[in-house]
Structure 1
């Protein structure tokens, strides 16, 4: 692994985003719109009911935390797609860039995007709704890390699928996160799910994060065993995703699919 090559890829991503206003807007616009829509919905409930039940107070925090996962996933999969669309993908791997270095650069890009989006959404949440994200305390750190890791994992799987099935699968880069969102229990507790779906939900690392967030906001403490389960699941899925990506990438390289994607 070469740190210099990873830095080179990160520098390329920096130039791509810094020189395109529309790319910056794409990163910032949708998270802010989510925050405004869900936030004003909460304010509407306040006016209608006279008080906001506890469940509604979780919505803004859930929106902020969900965008951590979503941005991490988008950075991995969409960065790959942008190289494909610009017909630059083959050029990257003609250079002495290893697969791990490419993935590492996209993951670091996801980390930076998630941090930037969070730093925008948290002050806006306080400005518009007097929502103090600091209520989560130190728990926000393991929550952030687990959602970030799950976002990277989903991004790797998405990219692997696109490599395998080509341009026809590109829409999955945006579809897969929202496909799994219902079983992540982002906006509601896991108890509302049917028993069979609850069992699936408990196999998703993000479920434990959002359940833990609601517990902390209610004044409780996040159970260490739930945090441990989230970490273990994330590690298992990340390893499986890395193996899947490596296998499908090598297969595509052997049968010429990588070259076809560049045309």
Structure 2
């Protein structure tokens, strides 16, 4: 009974893990600079492109208005995933995973702490970049209102689902699989309708696109910005798909974690 209580879900243990990572961020200004630098460079490049295209006439000018929205929402997906994965890799680099898994910290608490740090890292980069977009290009991301909350929730859960599987693979196969943390999200980019509608894809590719939650988010964003219509049906489909994929990702992560324990990979990460 005492062991069950000891292992029960504990927000305090999650908070301790989050504070550990916040101290890591506070102690290194290059880490903080990197969080803002890449989304800022991406936003400036696409923002100036949008300014140029917007000066043209016809449909090109209309489409230009969605470029900054697309890149900022795409950055939520990418940075949400990287924030999760980088926080996990910080523990791998510190050879601390074995210690954590032998501590009272449960796998669920560990995952929750990674999710919280993902949002912290994301907001550190997103808030200043969105303000730059507003000042330089007149695009107010926060002006999207309630739909932005649904866009954010769907994109962050997609990012976490992908990152959970990647974290499990790294646990099982070691840092040789580290590159997946930087590339896995980008595999979805061509078929997620980030900068163009799903309708422009070949018919077979459209079926794949509609199986990816981000496609619904970006289609919904274009409908909101271009047509002024909020597509709640698209958000509902995205939420349903995310619930399925995130559940599968949790199961895969737990299975890979058990495999790492059986194979001794957790202890190996502490001694390499």
Q: Into which bin does the TM-score normalised by the smaller protein fall? A: over 0.9
| TM norm structure 1 | 0.95
Distance 2:142 2:21 in 1: 31
- Look up the SS of the partner of 1:187 in the other structure: coil
CA contact (8 A) 1:68 1:115 kept: no
Which of 168, 171, 187 is the aligned partner of 2:176? 168
1:41 corresponds to = 49
Partner residue, 1:77: 85
Q: 1:40 Cα shift?
A: 1.1
Where does the alignment leave 5 or more consecutive residues of structure 1 unmatched? none
Of 84, 88, 103, which aligns to 1:95?
Answer: 103
**1:31-76: CA deviations, max 9, x gaps?**
10110111111123245x3675222111111111111111221122
Q: Which residue, out of 5, 8, 12, partners 1:4?
A: 12
Is the contact between residue 36 and residue 126 of structure 2 (CA under 8 Å) also seen in structure 1?
Answer: no
- Structure 2: gaps (5+ residues): 1-8
User: Which residue pairs with 1:122 in the alignment?
Assistant: 130
Q: CA RMSD in A?
A: 1.5
Tell me how far apart the structure 1 counterparts of residues 66 and 167 of structure 2 sit (CA, whole Å). 32
CA distance in 1, matches of 2:20, 2:182: 23
Look up the match of 2:244.
236
TM-score (norm 2): 0.92
**Regions of 4+ moved over 4 Å:** none
Task: Supply the distance in 2 between the matched residues of 1:77 and 1:211 (Cα, whole angstroms).
Answer: 27
Q: Say whether residues 1:217 and 2:225 are aligned partners.
A: yes
1:111 is the counterpart of 2:87: no
Would the aligned equivalents of 2:54 and 2:65 in 1 still touch at CA under 8 Å? Answer: no
Paired residues in the alignment total 262
